[in-house]
Structure 1
């Protein structure tokens, strides 16, 4: 009666097949059948194959490569044939076994099965090493590793399926018995394989052949499909988070300790900062490795364990995206600075602020004769001194150019890393890669003792850990990481799985933190927010709000200030002052109509707020926008809302309007009237005003033009030249937007352009940038960025231009101006 021949998995699942030339094909078929049985007998994704086929060059097992279409790790990327590759794969398996023994099993678990019963979501998959035609292409080192895997692998969940070519000479100092004693041994007997076992040898064995190729592929692909998402492991955030009644229960005076995820079956991995050399953190992992998840888990859990007077965050994100936006939306009370898609200049200004804090804390410590945060809190218990976590994602962005920002950032980061430990300032640097020509000095990185390595390349594994520690290259799934608090040395490796914090769960926790802060009256100051992925918000402009709060005014401000956006550094917003002197005209150049409108509207509102409506101030808007364009009716709407004297004209009426303004310039000039009420001429979309474009015979005009002769016909372009040249000193200023520098040159010659001392440049090519602002830097501007050039001082400042104001805010502000006019 036939009985099934069964491998005792997982106790003794390894197989050794010995065959000569005639039995080689049968050995390959037996290996295929065994592999297929294991794949289909275990849960999807719980078995990984490492296949070595030096004679068949991978053809013997090519059907299994369909698994790679779903997850390359199911077959270790490919089938290995070359000696060097075989050495590397066996080294990877032995390193995996070392990790299992030393990190997971220790003296607590006898086998990987026992460990997996407790490990749950972080259970280790089984590994099967398949070798055809041993010992072809096996070096002496590879042979020793194979013996090690065969002898010790079963406890770690690593098994071998090996076919031995009996015609091949065995390696020197190798005894096949070293493999036989750890496997189920079968030998080719001429027509079939027979058990090499005293108890089973007398039983005839018929190994089931593998399925037909089409069915074989179908089965393999079905397994791969089921295993597609099994590599994703989610450790619940609830496992590491405190219970609500334990929120803010920890004290950071001596150190900061917060769980990050699971380390093995029964332990949690903590981040520990503030004692010994564990002061700063370096985090690296390729795209999709879980670096962002790690940062969210860290920030949220610190916020749950520590109160805002225990820990403060300075968050800088250089990459494209809005990872840190949630901390703004949920008003995280611990956050002092949040930068989203930050500029290098803003990041540098944050470093400068922390450098100043370093100096301030140094003075405090000397004053109270203390050495550290704990000593200060003991000496001055009523004065909170929170630890500071500076988190910079993609910190390499500081060093992409060899310029002042690069140099200053290097110096400041080095000082913060070397001196911050004594003053409770901790730096956490994240990056996708540490390679490249521009980076932070290795001497500075060497001071960062705590390393968190996620999935990365072998070269980055060397950089994030150390030259002799490449354990990070063996990480296989998102969120799987190595925590190392020994400057990257091998003995400091602690593998763990980062807890998964979904967006909804994160927001719920942050709302709870915000509510607790409000209930307990925690207010550590205003959060400074930089959102580089959007235009600046005029409604949140502090200087403009202060200007508007002064309404109503008794008289006009003589030299009013105007604001057009927000700084890209921690400093006051860029502003221009409209003095009564030559050249005080403004031109905006660039193909960003919405932002150009936002800049001009903000300036117009700023100026209007500094002139009482009954003081005679006039605003003349030459509006070239079409009615069907976004914001096409914005100027008309502003004119209706402002209580000032505002006139909006379309291109066909521009000549008449400019004639009136030019006549006013001439009148003031002839009467030396330098105190008349200001006039602001706004030209929106210069290229739409054909009447303002000079004829070919007019480009030399301007040097001798004086008062207007009533008997002489003067073109609109000549009148504009007169206004630009003579108007500013008499209180008549021009604000102009042109879409391209080429069009600007067609409408205004180089001499007339000199009358614009105030210039705003959006992104343009290097040549146009050099011609407009004496620098090619505008060619490197990104979205929502502009440059302010002040010709009188010769200065350049990058800023974020305002978006057009929303209707509700515009109605509120103009309502206050109207109320002031009637007060």
Structure 2
């Protein structure tokens, strides 16, 4: 038993010993692990204490590198901008809001970048933060997002190392939305202020606020500069923009330029406005809408189509500037992680006032095109053999719109109310033609029936001695001288016959063929411009009938002989004057309608009703709608603008050996002078049958109304009327012209009206010394003693002959003075004695000739002043007398031996 107990005790002791040994081993291992853990814990604690300092130092180092890198990048951009002129925010594109005002760029300047804020880098001046838009790309506005740099701003807090630190600052979604709306207003206002009025057009899509996001720009809407698209209209808007881009590529750029910006640099003109679509949120896009949006993002900037997008996912394209807005700060995709401190929003009243002024400016009409754009680089390089072609303005796409006068269309009709630019259009057209065709290729005949001197500048004047060398005739202030218009048509008719005869001689039919067969001949194309032409056609007299006949003949046959008509009118009655003559209207296939012009285009063609200022509808197919071309007309009527071209052409032509002389200027308000008359200068002494110059004929050529004093019965002249000055002027011109040809002739002057005494006395220096001067009693004594001497001409001038009626009624030697006067009138001309007298009425002239029923053929010629045509019936071969409406300083001259119908003349001014 004891042995068993001992054995058990020993076994237990042995087990306990083994357990203790194992426990000591585990305890030692635990103690070792604990020591290792404590060591690791100490290392961890030590590393934790050092990590913030290293992290801050690393962050500061990285930010310093980024700042240096951005500063270097901005400096490089600035250097490249100085060379390329691309990185700019001048004037309204970058000015602060206080004192801000629109500063439209000139047409050769590229669009600016638009300032939205500034990048503030410690230790450096603030750098403007600029966003590209016009001609450059699109802008996408997004809200704040999580991650490094979200909503970061620079602060002045410093670390232990003394370096600036970047702190995070968050913003609410509502604050970001308000900032995005402010940024939209900033971009739009700066774009509008830096572009020419009307060249930026905005489309707003704002389904959430229903246009409220663009409310400040609402005054732009009436002028067509702002349109809104309602909810659900996004797809249609995107489709319209894509179609617009396609049209620009096909019809404007047309493969010649890669973008509108490049085209503007190359041509100096921008043919299309910028279209900015502001998309302010909406539902999720459909597949079609996403595809259209991507097309616009890829291709829109080159075609002047730009997007400002908020609340719509936009893919990352190189043309998209992404602006991450977080309160009053933002991150620009072009600036990397550098934060931008946004400018404050533009004041609401500034937005509204600027929009209102722009709308008012645009509503008054766009600025005209530039006259210099119509002119070629070299003058007079084109031939008019086949026709005349020249631009009159540019199209909405900025391309020149040329107009042709040739076999088709042969003639032009221009219409437009007063103030719509009719005269300016004519100036622009004439300037473009004159610069292309030399005076040997083109001649102008200009006639203006309205009161004014629109065409006078083409002839030499007192202020400007130059003239347009192409112009051969200028008629101004002829609103009461329809005879001058008729004279022009007669002249053109004669020229048409001359050319037709030459064409027959050379067996050709057209001007181009005639010029080829007769290269040494003078065959320029003729363009006759008649403003307010209806004056010629509105009367029902013989003049209007003859004018209509001549006009129809010229319109029908002139095309083949290079004679073209341009008829213009500002009143609808001018156009209506043609409708009764369909054969005439049909020849004027070229129609040019100015704003509000009526009845010039086809009845269904209303294009002129909505035409803005400085524009015209050019239609070469008799006004058919499908032939309309809208043209912007440049300002060409300014004296300085036109003068530069005219002086250039005049100097070049004047220096040529075969240059033409100055054009004939007929001014209906001017009184011609005998001393400057070419016919008076050509008079020479010793003429067998002298001529009397009575006044200036209303004719294309500056010629005098002439009365030959041959030895034929009736070669006497009577001036009839009560206008003393005009009657004296006629007799004075007759006396001076005769004295110039017959210095050895005998002159007798009887002045029987005190009002005519001054004129009679003024003749003394110009008449022979032995001239006899008589009063009424002296005339009564002279007539019985007067015996004509065929060897010496004798001219008896009677000023107010009827004033001597009582004296001449007394009989001397069985005959009265009247009988002696009648004998002299009847028999004197055959013996070279002629009577040139003034009677103050037709009735008194009849009394001196023997009363009613007496013969009047002893008065072979007469000049009627303020006398009605019916009163002259006894001195006119046709019953009822001539058609004559007296007017100041005009006279009706009729010579039985030479005239079929009387002619209107202008008495020469009195020379005292």
TM-score exceeds 0.5: yes
| Counterpart residue number, 2:822 | 725
| Counterpart residue number, 2:547 | 409
2 CA distance for matches of 1:464 and 1:113? 38
The higher relative CO (CA closer than 8 Å, separation ≥ 6) is in: 1
Cα distance change on mapping 1:517 and 1:103 into 2, 3 Å: farther
Cα distance change on mapping 1:723 and 1:784 into 2, 3 Å: same
Of 259-268 and 577-586, more deviation after overlay is shown by 577-586
The answer to whether 1:662 aligns with 2:780 is yes
2 CA distance for matches of 1:605 and 1:234? 54
Q: Secondary structure at the match of 1:293?
A: helix
User: Of the candidates 216, 226, 236, which is equivalent to residue 370 of structure 2?
Assistant: 236
Q: Are the aligned partners of 1:121 and 1:233 in contact in 2 as well (CA < 8 Å)? A: no
2 CA distance for matches of 1:432 and 1:309? 32
Superposed, 1:502-513 pairs within 5 Å as 502-513=638-649
User: Of the candidates 413, 422, 428, which is equivalent to residue 297 of structure 1?
Assistant: 428
User: Of the candidates 318, 321, 336, which is equivalent to residue 449 of structure 2?
Assistant: 318
| Counterpart residue number, 1:618 | 748
The answer to whether 1:12 aligns with 2:203 is yes
1 CA distance for matches of 2:895 and 2:851? 17
Of 492-501 and 360-369, more deviation after overlay is shown by 360-369
Superposed, 1:155-174 pairs within 5 Å as none
* Structure showing greater Rg: 2
Shift of 1:494: 1.0
| Counterpart residue number, 1:785 | 890
Superposed, 1:634-713 pairs within 5 Å as 634-646=759-771, 657-668=775-786, 678-683=794-799, 692=804, 694=806, 706-708=811-813
Shift of 1:797: 1.9
Q: Are the aligned partners of 1:112 and 1:124 in contact in 2 as well (CA < 8 Å)? A: no
Q: Secondary structure at the match of 2:786?
A: helix
Q: Secondary structure at the match of 1:235?
A: coil
Q: Are the aligned partners of 1:253 and 1:374 in contact in 2 as well (CA < 8 Å)? A: yes
| Counterpart residue number, 1:399 | 537
Over aligned residue pairs, what C-alpha RMSD do you find?
5.0
Of 302-311 and 658-667, more deviation after overlay is shown by 658-667
Shift of 1:734: 4.4
1 CA distance for matches of 2:751 and 2:455? 40
Q: Are the aligned partners of 1:283 and 1:453 in contact in 2 as well (CA < 8 Å)? A: yes
1 CA distance for matches of 2:275 and 2:534? 38
Q: Are the aligned partners of 1:536 and 1:800 in contact in 2 as well (CA < 8 Å)? A: no
User: Of the candidates 515, 522, 530, which is equivalent to residue 666 of structure 2?
Assistant: 530
Q: Secondary structure at the match of 2:797?
A: strand
Shift of 1:481: 0.6
Superposed, 1:12-411 pairs within 5 Å as 12-13=203-204, 37-39=217-219, 107-108=251-252, 223=357, 227=361, 230-231=364-365, 233-243=367-377, 246-274=378-406, 277-329=408-460, 330-342=466-478, 343-411=481-549
Shift of 1:314: 2.4
| Counterpart residue number, 2:566 | 428
Q: Secondary structure at the match of 1:323?
A: coil
Q: Are the aligned partners of 1:787 and 1:796 in contact in 2 as well (CA < 8 Å)? A: no
Cα distance change on mapping 1:35 and 1:405 into 2, 3 Å: farther
2 CA distance for matches of 1:570 and 1:335? 12
1 CA distance for matches of 2:799 and 2:428? 51
Cα distance change on mapping 1:37 and 1:747 into 2, 3 Å: farther
Q: Secondary structure at the match of 1:606?
A: helix
Shift of 1:674: 6.6
Superposed, 1:440-519 pairs within 5 Å as 441-457=581-597, 460=598, 463-477=599-613, 479-501=614-636, 502-519=638-655
| Counterpart residue number, 2:131 | none
| Counterpart residue number, 1:735 | 837
Q: TM-score, normalised by structure 1?
A: 0.63
Cα distance change on mapping 1:104 and 1:298 into 2, 3 Å: farther
Q: Are the aligned partners of 2:822 and 2:849 in contact in 1 as well (CA < 8 Å)? A: no
Q: Deviations over 1:427-463 (max 9, x none)?
A: 2222224546632622332232222111234xx2xx3
Shift of 1:805: 4.9
Q: Secondary structure at the match of 1:488?
A: coil
The answer to whether 1:604 aligns with 2:735 is yes
Shift of 1:327: 2.1
| Counterpart residue number, 2:67 | none
Cα distance change on mapping 1:745 and 1:381 into 2, 3 Å: closer
| Counterpart residue number, 2:679 | 543
1 CA distance for matches of 2:762 and 2:416? 51
Cα distance change on mapping 1:641 and 1:410 into 2, 3 Å: closer
Give the number of aligned pairs: 617
Shift of 1:540: 3.9
Cα distance change on mapping 1:120 and 1:693 into 2, 3 Å: farther
Cα distance change on mapping 1:786 and 1:225 into 2, 3 Å: farther
2 CA distance for matches of 1:102 and 1:350? 52
Shift of 1:114: 12
2 CA distance for matches of 1:402 and 1:16? 67
Q: Are the aligned partners of 1:668 and 1:674 in contact in 2 as well (CA < 8 Å)? A: no
Q: Are the aligned partners of 1:682 and 1:736 in contact in 2 as well (CA < 8 Å)? A: yes
1 CA distance for matches of 2:397 and 2:661? 42
Shift of 1:603: 0.9
Q: Secondary structure at the match of 2:376?
A: coil
2 CA distance for matches of 1:381 and 1:796? 40
Q: Are the aligned partners of 2:747 and 2:768 in contact in 1 as well (CA < 8 Å)? A: no
Shift of 1:298: 1.9
Shift of 1:570: 4.9
Shift of 1:516: 1.4
Q: Secondary structure at the match of 1:562?
A: strand
Q: Secondary structure at the match of 2:835?
A: strand
Cα distance change on mapping 1:748 and 1:505 into 2, 3 Å: farther
Q: Are the aligned partners of 1:105 and 1:112 in contact in 2 as well (CA < 8 Å)? A: no
Cα distance change on mapping 1:778 and 1:504 into 2, 3 Å: farther
2 CA distance for matches of 1:803 and 1:525? 23
Q: Secondary structure at the match of 2:496?
A: helix
1 CA distance for matches of 2:667 and 2:393? 30
| Counterpart residue number, 2:231 | none
Shift of 1:750: 4.9
| Counterpart residue number, 1:803 | 908
Q: Deviations over 1:539-588 (max 9, x none)?
A: 343333322xx22x3xx85x642111122245864323456856834223
Q: Deviations over 1:346-375 (max 9, x none)?
A: 333433333343343334334444453333
- Structure 2: where are the runs of 5+ without partners? 1-173, 189-200, 228-240, 277-302, 306-347, 461-465
Cα distance change on mapping 1:380 and 1:637 into 2, 3 Å: closer
Cα distance change on mapping 1:427 and 1:104 into 2, 3 Å: farther
2 CA distance for matches of 1:340 and 1:105? 48
